[in-house]
Structures are given as C-alpha cells and as structure tokens.
C-alpha cells in the first residue's frame, strides 16, 4: 500500500554538493537492493534534464530506482540489466498505477551493446554502474561487469561510454554516478578514470557533483581500519553530467 507518492517539501538541488541523509521512501522506493542509489538523485536529474514524455535510458537499472521515478514523473523509461533477478524486482517495484504515468520497457541485456536501440534515439541517460568489483552482483553471469577488477572494468566502461554516446540524441545529457576505492592504503580514483573515458568517447563535462554518502554498511569495519592504518574514510561519490 503506497502511502506517499512524492517526497515532502522537495526542492531541486542548486549546488555541486548533494546530500540526502534520508534516502527517500516515497512510492515503492526502499534501500533493499544492494548499492541502489537514492531516488532523490534520479528525481533531481530527471526534473533538471528532461521534459514530460521524454525517453530516459538507464542501462544499469538494478532494482529500478530510475524506472520508478520516471514513471512517477511521466517520463518513458528503458531499463537494461544483465541480471534477470534485478529486472524482476524492477518490474514488481513499478507495478503501481498512477495517473498519466510514463511507460516502462525492461530489457535483459548488456550496457556495452544496446543493439535494440538506434542511434540518437534517447533523450537522457541516467545511470549508476557497479564500482568495478566493490559489490559483486552475480556469481555466474558472464556479462556482469561487477565481477571485474579495476583495469578490466575500465576497459569495459569504454564500450559503455561509446554506446551511451551513440544512442543519445545530440545536445542532450548523460549522468553517471561513480565511487572511488581504496586498495593497499591508497585511493584508486575510479570515478575520475570513468569521467575521462566518457570524455574520450566524445562527451563534454557539464557538471561534477559531489554526493555525500550516508549509512554506508561497511562503515564500522572501515572506521576501525582507518584508525589502525591512518587513512581517511571515503564519504562521497561523484555524479558526472555529460553533454553530447
């Protein structure tokens, strides 16, 4: 039973620092899909970069946060994921009816090969890929890039970036959330590597937003380690908005 259709007192973000201590629980949103992003992020992006009736693509749809927001905000959405379980969850989460809602099309597929989409057919891309193998989403799905270590992951993200550039209409936007990692005491700036990959694919960088992280499940373990080995806890991700 849905109690709230929209966040209370919502205001569009106006600066390059975004922070949502309460991740958002309106409509069917919840934090159960591991590593899902806050619906405040997709809501802000959709309201700022799209119009009613636009076609939005999320090629790493996961538990369906973007799809729910697109439906509520009367945008049409194509959600792609390699994992049938994610698509099933997404379908369940979007099985509500609301007046004038946008249409949803789910596709079991690979963000690196969106053959079913023609060139320049999408109005906005809004997505949240895995952060290399920081969270591994499946054990045996070959095409799941969350199984790949950093260097291999980055090679595959080149294909994602070229495909995103191909299917996006000219003069439109593509937003990607990406986190960084720490290995052997040093930062691996995964987000900046991914940013450069999208620039190399032809995009220009419109915005670079710092998104503060809250309720990170690993915080307890890392807090102890950070004191023991003297390093800072990573408490933000980067949200890049690219322009084609």
Q: Given the structure tokens 């802000």, which residue do they identify?
A: 44
Assigned token pair, 51: 């119009």
* Phi/psi-derived region of residue 108, left when phi > 0, alpha when psi is between -120 and 50, beta in every other case: beta
Strand, helix or coil at 135?
coil
Give min distance, CB of 28 to ligand SAM, in A: 12
Closer residue to ligand SAM in complex, CB, 212/223? 212
Give min distance, CB of 89 to ligand SAM, in A: 8
Assigned token pair, 184: 């052997």
The span from the CA of 51 to the CA of 125, in Å, is: 13
Q: Which phi and psi angles does 190 have, rounded to 5°?
A: -50, -40
Q: Around 241, how many Cα atoms within 13 Å sit in the side-chain half-sphere?
A: 19
Give min distance, CB of 239 to ligand SAM, in A: 12
The span from the CA of 97 to the CA of 100, in Å, is: 9
Closer residue to ligand SAM in complex, CB, 74/83? 83
Give min distance, CB of 152 to ligand SAM, in A: 12
Q: Which residues bind ligand SAM (CB under 6 A)?
A: 33, 35-37, 59-60, 62-65, 80-83, 86, 110-112, 128-130, 137, 143-146
Residues shown for the chain: 244
Contact 104, 94 (CB under 8 A): yes
Give min distance, CB of 211 to ligand SAM, in A: 13
Closer residue to ligand SAM in complex, CB, 143/226? 143
Closer residue to ligand SAM in complex, CB, 28/65? 65
Closer residue to ligand SAM in complex, CB, 92/224? 92
- Nearest residue to 238 (alpha-carbon basis) of 215, 217, 213, 203: 213
Instruction: Report the residue closest to ligand SAM, judged by CB.
Output: 62
Closer residue to ligand SAM in complex, CB, 62/102? 62
Give min distance, CB of 156 to ligand SAM, in A: 7
């Amino acid at each position: 039973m849905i109690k709230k259709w929209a966040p209370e007192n919502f205001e569009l973000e106006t600066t390059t620092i975004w922070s949502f201590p309460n991740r958002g629980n309106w409509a069917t949103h919840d934090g159960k899909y591991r590593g899902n992003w806050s619906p405040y992020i997709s809501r802000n992006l959709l309201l700022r970069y799209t119009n009613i009736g636009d076609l939005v693509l999320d090629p790493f749809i996961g538990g369906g946060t973007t799809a729910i927001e697109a439906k509520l905000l009367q945008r049409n959405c194509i959600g792609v994921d390699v994992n049938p379980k994610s698509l099933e969850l997404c379908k369940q989460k979007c099985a509500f009816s609301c007046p004038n809602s946008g249409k949803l099309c789910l596709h079991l597929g690979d963000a690196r090969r969106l053959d079913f989409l023609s060139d320049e057919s999408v109005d906005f891309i809004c997505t949240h890929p895995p952060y290399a193998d920081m969270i591994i989403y499946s054990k045996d799905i070959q095409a799941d890039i969350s199984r790949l270590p950093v260097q291999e992951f980055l090679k595959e993200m080149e294909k994602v970036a070229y495909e995103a550039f191909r299917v996006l209409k000219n003069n439109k936007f593509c937003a990607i959330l990406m986190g960084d990692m720490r290995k052997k005491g040093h930062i691996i700036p995964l987000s900046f590597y991914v940013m450069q990959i999208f620039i190399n694919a032809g995009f220009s960088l419109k915005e670079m937003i710092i998104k503060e992280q809250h309720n990170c499940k690993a915080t307890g373990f890392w807090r102890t380690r950070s004191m023991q080995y003297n390093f800072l806890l990573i408490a933000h991700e980067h949200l890049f908005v690219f322009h084609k």
